[in-house]
A and B are shown apart, each in its own frame.
Chain A
Amino acid sequence: MKELICIVCPKGCHLKVDEANDYAVTGNGCPRGAAYGKAELTNPTRVLTSTVKIDGAHHRRCPVKTDRAVAKGKLFELMDLLDGVQLTAPVKVGQIIIENAAGTGANIVCCKNLDAVK
């Protein structure tokens, strides 16, 4: 039995998930909580947001994110990957920076338009 707080809506129900019983959820105020509880224990995923180095822009860092949620266990591997990235301005929102990053199926995309400055 594992206890979780549901984050799908602000109510924050205290869920109990029974791993031994096909991840049956109790304590949920609605069905969305049951789906969340099961997913959290079977395959928890998160969107990763971070920054990478950029040259020639107003700022020294460019914000980036994964374009979909990735397995939670992959986050630190992705952070290591981002450490080696060096962009040069200009860049555009939505521009793909790394395709299928670390085999997660998610792309790393740019979150901000940064123009080149002299």
Chain B
Amino acid sequence: MNHYELIVIGGGPAGLAAALAAYEQGLRKILIVERDKELGGILNQCIHNGFGLHHFKEELTGPEYAGRFVEMLKDTNVEVALDTMVLEITREREVHAVSVAKGYQVLKGDSVILAMGCRERTRGAIAIPGDRPAGVFTAGTAQRYLNMEGYMVGRRIVILGSGDIGLIMARRMTLEGAKVLACVEVMPYSGGLNRNIVQCLQDYDIPLYLSHTITDIRGKGRVEGVTVSQVDARRNPIPGTEMHFDCDTVLLSVGLIPENELTRQAEITMDPRTNGAVVYENMETALPGVFACGNVVHVHDLVDFVTAESMRAGRAAAAYVQKGEADDAGLITLKNGDGVTYTVPQRIRPGNVENAEVFFRVNRVCGASEIRVMSGDTQIAKFKRAHLAPGEMERIMLPKKLLEKAGSELTVGIVEL
């Protein structure tokens, strides 16, 4: 059986950063398994710029950002198995993989990092009524067709959902000569970054309809038009508000789901709020020696944070191989309080960190606010923010001193001032 100190599943930015960090800590038998024909993950199709402002202090395109890590990998002896799909991981950290070149293989890892990323929600996952004609794509699929394979998916486009991928595609399709008629968002606010609303919609006079949704898709064979209606506070369509658009294509940008089939099969504890594994401060899952990072844990909007989190996972995997299991004395469980939808990590072992970095998302748009960290009824930390929004992941640092004072449970909540 092929044996490695670390097997990384997925060669996107998460897997690349994790492998590099583990190498820097001294591991010398590392394998990255990637099902695609190249490394880089979803970044290969994200040709727009805006990546790397935090990590490299410059604005790169997705392929450039991924390229930097691929170059760094060339100076190491990290092995890469491309065109190889992982089918199963066991609780003994055996990785079952299949490829045309090598057939069915069982690989054994002293440690394993899950970095499988996420996939897009499809029409089925959100149930839009109407016909089932051709011409309905997820925005990410259209992005891959256009940016990598060179196919235009349509000429007259309506976009459902105002997530970043949809916004980016609105601009991209417009520049390529398509007419984007509308971007339709069911929530009263956009899920995308402000910068994308301005530079992808407003720059090209594409209307954004908030609190609206597609209530019908028509067409024989190919999409011919859609009906868009306003929705009430409970997201039910309001009769009489219908608008009709003649379009040949609908792009769905309605969210991402972490790709965790392998994680579930291995019966690793999941968090229903993130749809990812429950992780400790060092990105270890509930199965010792198995770590997870990037979009497979929770959906990120900035790849820079994916890189930071994944380096932490890589270092932790190295420590596990070199020093064994972490000490879980004084374990703290993190809970989401008012206005917070989840936290990552969900568990902190104070003995195992200097500062615990905690990511979370809020459930509403807020002006000046305070993030409050409570241990029972006692507030142990607060952080001021001028602005909070669901589309932007928040990050706080909890120092060790504070964690040592905390009880077995901490709650992170927000209060608008």
A residues at B contact (CB < 8 Å): 4-5, 7, 10-12, 29, 46-51, 53, 58-61, 63, 65, 72, 75-76, 79, 93, 111-113
Known: A50-B47, A59-B149, A60-B150. A5 touches B61 (CB 8 A): no
Assess whether A46 is in contact with B175, with CB atoms less than 8 Å apart: no
Assess whether A112 is in contact with B67, with CB atoms less than 8 Å apart: yes
B48 nearest CB neighbor, chain A only: A49
| Bound complex: CA A76 to CA B147 (Å) | 17
Assess whether B194 is in contact with A12, with CB atoms less than 8 Å apart: yes
B residues at A contact (CB < 8 Å): 37-38, 47-49, 59, 61-64, 67, 146-150, 175-177, 193-195, 197-199, 203, 386-387, 389, 392
Apart from A5-B194, A10-B387, A58-B38, list 15 A-B contacts with CB within 8 A: A5-B197, A5-B198, A10-B193, A49-B61, A50-B175, A60-B150, A61-B148, A61-B150, A63-B47, A63-B62, A63-B63, A65-B47, A111-B61, A111-B64, A112-B64
| Bound complex: CA A94 to CA B58 (Å) | 14
| Bound complex: CA A72 to CA B198 (Å) | 13
Contact with B47, one of A4, A5, A12, A51 (Cβ below 8 angstroms): A51
Assess whether B203 is in contact with A46, with CB atoms less than 8 Å apart: yes
Assess whether B61 is in contact with A65, with CB atoms less than 8 Å apart: yes
**Listed A/B pairs (22) with beta-carbon separation below 8 Å:** A5-B198, A7-B195, A10-B387, A11-B386, A12-B387, A47-B59, A49-B47, A49-B49, A50-B47, A51-B146, A53-B150, A58-B37, A61-B147, A61-B148, A61-B150, A63-B63, A79-B175, A79-B176, A79-B177, A93-B64, A111-B64, A111-B67
Of B48, B64, B149, B176, most buried by chain A (CB within 10 Å of CB) is: B64
B368 nearest CB neighbor, chain A only: A11
Contact with A11, one of B49, B197, B387 (Cβ below 8 angstroms): B387
Chain B positions within 8 Å of A46 at CB level: 199, 203
Shortest CB-to-CB span from A105 to chain B, Å, is 18
Chain A positions within 8 Å of B47 at CB level: 49-51, 63, 65, 111
Contact with B67, one of A10, A29, A93 (Cβ below 8 angstroms): A93
| Bound complex: CA A5 to CA B38 (Å) | 39
Chain B positions within 8 Å of A29 at CB level: 386
| Bound complex: CA A113 to CA B29 (Å) | 27
Known: A46-B199, A113-B67. A61 touches B149 (CB 8 A): yes
B175 nearest CB neighbor, chain A only: A79
